[in-house]
Amino acid sequence: MTLAQLRSVRVDYRRGPALGPIDLGLAAEEVVALVGPSGCGKSTAMRLLAGLEKPTVGTVERAAGKGETSLVFQAPTLAPWLSALENVALPLLLAGEARDTALERARDCLEQVGLGRAVNARPAQLSGGMAMRASLARALASRPRLLLLDEPFAALDEITRRSLADDVLRLWAETRPAILFVTHNVEEAVYMAARVVIMTQGPGRIAGDVATPGPLPRPEGFRTSAAFRETVEDVSRILADTMKAAA
Amino acid sequence: MNRLAAFLAPLTLVTAILLGWELACRWMSVPVYLLPSPSAIAASIAVDWSPLAAAAWTTLSMALTALVIASVCACLLALLGGLNPLIEQAVQPIAVTVQVTPVVAIAPLVMIWTGLDHPGRAITILATIVAFFPIYSGAAAGLRAADPDLERLFDLYGASRWQKLIRLRLPSAVPFMVEGHKVATALAVIGAVVAEFVAGSGGAQGLAWRIIESANRLQTARVFAALVVLAAMATLLYALVTVAERRILGWWSGR
């Protein structure tokens, strides 16, 4: 079943065309990575799938309702005046859930991302990685069917990125939401997703669609496997070709 | 530079200035009505302490009343503007016009409307007008300053306009509102003093009135005494507001 689908979608901003025409679909429980150069319209595609933006041309079909979609941005985007717990409970409170049950659910989500002991901490007291985990917990709190991750690890160090990547896949395995993972890091894309969609320089079009080998979450040692290296090379080559064609 | 030196430097400068002033007055026999010596000013403060304190309280209470009224009106209006952008658009030019018009120029009108028997009311109103704008513009700017990605999340989670205002835009505005109140506190005192000058009569016997009265009689030491009390009062108020600002921002940001 398709959860969200862009059909012949084009987006123009005042300064010119920003995206497309592009066709991009996400099936239920599917994990797709979207890679492309900066300014190719990756974030625009994400906002379209979230229903936060309308296309200039084409249609967006969404089976997942607004309440069933969650977003994580490059920055943790937590409210500084709220504790980690209140931040995570926010989507539930906005949906009208009772405060007690919302906070209880938020506590569970924070425990799932390894922040069980930081529930009362304010965002300013969290490290970059911890804040991103809290942001992830908030996205999971509403039990989304569609999870949109917009370069969520871009501002983190390599060690934290890797452990968060494994965490996201582990959490995905529990409730299996469809995930669209936007990144400009090819290795991360191949590691995180069953399918890597490559976009051209802006206005972005689809330049390639590569299936990655092996199961999700990734087994130990996957990063050093030949299959992983080959896929990374394939995706990198397609990406390099699109850059060359644009230059 | 160590902390002791940082503390002693201004103290030394002030002492040196006062000492030079005192000595110059004595050696050159400067007439008291022209420039009283610091010791004469201190004596004047000591002698007139209770009327000075009463005058300070008059000015302070008018300024604080004005601050409270300005705060309530400005925040309410900014909130209405936050709920409906059309209201903000409508209010903006009027707010700016009132802000850029010197309060001294409006004073005679306000005096007429409140009646000459109630200069205190006129002064409070004028100080309110002066204090209103920084609070209003701070609150209005703050309500527009929420993180756009947080706004997107609120949209995604289907938040109503009211929920967005209460749970996102209002808390986001807190640092701006604190800054606005800080500026407004200083301006309310200035506004009250300026309005007292314009009112001129003895109906509201604040510090400015004491300054005019004493100056008219060439009692220059009393002018300085009132000035010293005014400066001390304003500084103390500023210090209190700064402490409050630090507390509130500390709570807000969780640091």
* B67 against A211, higher pLDDT: B67
Which percentage of chain B shows pLDDT scores above 70? 98
**Min distance A91 CA to chain B CA atoms (Å):** 6
Q: Sort B159 into a burial class: Cβ within 10 Å, 0-12 / 13-18 / 19+.
A: buried
pLDDT tens digits along A95-123 = 888 999 999 999 999 998 888 898 899 99
Reading phi first (left if > 0) and then psi (alpha if -120 to 50, else beta), residue A147 is in beta
Strand partners, A12: A17
Q: What is the pLDDT of residue B104?
A: 86
Q: What is the pLDDT of residue B176?
A: 95
Average confidence (pLDDT) over A126-147: 91
Q: What is the pLDDT of residue B103?
A: 84
pLDDT tens digits along B158-217 = 888 889 999 999 999 999 999 999 999 999 999 999 888 887 765 678 898 899 889 989
Q: Looking at mean pLDDT, say which of A27-36, A211-220, B15-24 comes out highest.
A: B15-24
Q: Which residues of A fall within a CB distance of 8 Å from B255? A: 122, 124-125
**Min distance B132 CA to chain A CA atoms (Å):** 26
Contact B157, A95 (CB under 8 A): yes
pLDDT band, very low/low/confident/very high, at A7 (cuts 50, 70, 90):
confident
Q: Which residues of B fall within a CB distance of 8 Å from A67? A: 157-158
pLDDT band, very low/low/confident/very high, at A66 (cuts 50, 70, 90):
low
pLDDT above 70 (res B117): yes
Domain ranges of chain B: 1-30, 31-253
Q: What is the pLDDT of residue A179?
A: 93
pLDDT above 80 (res B250): yes
Q: Which residues of B fall within a CB distance of 8 Å from A90? A: 153, 157, 167
pLDDT tens digits along B20-65 = 999 999 999 888 889 999 999 999 999 999 999 999 999 999 999 9
Residue A240 CA: distances (Å) to CA of A36, A199, A200, A243, A246: 10, 11, 10, 5, 10
* Dihedral Cα A184, A49, B148, A141, nearest 10 deg: -90
Q: Which residues of B fall within a CB distance of 8 Å from A119? A: none
pLDDT above 70 (res A6): yes
Q: Sort B196 into a burial class: Cβ within 10 Å, 0-12 / 13-18 / 19+.
A: buried
How many whole angstroms separate alpha carbon A32 and alpha carbon A178?
Answer: 8
Torsional sign, CA A74, A76, A80, A81: positive
Distance between first and last Cα of chain B: 27
Interface predicted TM-score (ipTM)? 0.85
B150: nearest CB among A69, A77, A122: A77
Whats the size of chain A, residue-wise? 247
Q: Tokens standing for A220? A: 């130990």
Q: What is the pLDDT of residue A52?
A: 85
Contact A20, A9 (CB under 8 A): yes
pLDDT band, very low/low/confident/very high, at A40 (cuts 50, 70, 90):
confident
Number of inter-chain CB pairs under 8 A, A vs B: 62
Q: Which residue has the tokens 């079943």?
A: A1
Strand partners, A24: A6
pLDDT above 80 (res B127): yes
Q: In this structure, which topology does domain B31-253 adopt according to CATH?
A: MetI-like fold (1.10.3720)
State which amino acid sits at residue A91.
P
Angle at CA A77, nearest 5°, toward A75 and A80? 125
Give backbone dihedrals phi and psi of A177, rounded to 5 degrees, phi first: -75, 155
Tell which of A72, A81, A97 to mutate to test the B interface (max B CBs under 10 Å): A81
Q: What is the pLDDT of residue B85?
A: 86
Supply the mean pLDDT for chain B: 90
How many whole angstroms separate alpha carbon B41 and alpha carbon B219?
Answer: 11
CB atoms B149 and A52 under 8 Å:
no
Average confidence (pLDDT) over B234-241: 93
Torsional sign, CA A85, A86, A91, A93: positive
Q: What is the pLDDT of residue B110?
A: 87
* Rg of chain A taking only CA atoms, in angstroms: 18
Residue B217 CA: distances (Å) to CA of B55, B214, B222: 18, 5, 10
State which amino acid sits at residue A111.
E
CB atoms B158 and A94 under 8 Å:
yes
